[in-house]
Amino acid sequence: MTTKRAVDVVPGDRIRLASGRELSVTRIEHDFLGVDNLVCFVEDTQQCWFAHAVFVTDDVVTVSPAAPLDTQSHIR
């Protein structure tokens, strides 16, 4: 488990929220809701849809880093 800046999170990362809930990032929306520096991490899979918005300067707990690009084909 590591901590990184939100701006450094990439699709494929699995992050842990303060509540303990974990989110597998499949998509990142930048300038979210028209707000500079706000990003939204979205888990959009066949099992789950969940979104979490943070500022790019926030620290994010990463449970597992993104897999190498050639193994990310399961992420849509």
Partner 1 sequence: MGVYDLQVQTLDGGALDLAQFSGRAALVVNVASRCGLTPQYEALQRIHERFEPRGFSVIGVPCNQFGEQEPGSPEEIAAFCSGEYAVTFPLTAKLDVNGPNRHPLYQELTSTPDADGRSGDVQWNFEKFLVSPRGRVVGRFRPATEPESPEVLTAIEAALPATG
Contact flag: residue 57 with partner 1 (CB under 8 A): no
Q: Which is nearer to partner 1, 69 or 74 (CB)?
A: 74
Residue 52 corresponds to which tokens in the numbers above? 């979490």
Q: Which of 4, 14, 16, 52 binds partner 1 (CB under 8 A)?
A: 52
> What are the DSSP calls for 3-23, one per residue?
EEEGGG--TT-EEE-TTS-EE
Number of residues this chain uses to bind partner 1 (CB under 8 A): 17
Quote the radius of gyration of the chain (alpha carbons, Å). 12
Binding site for partner 1 (CB under 8 A): 17, 19, 21, 32-34, 40, 44-53
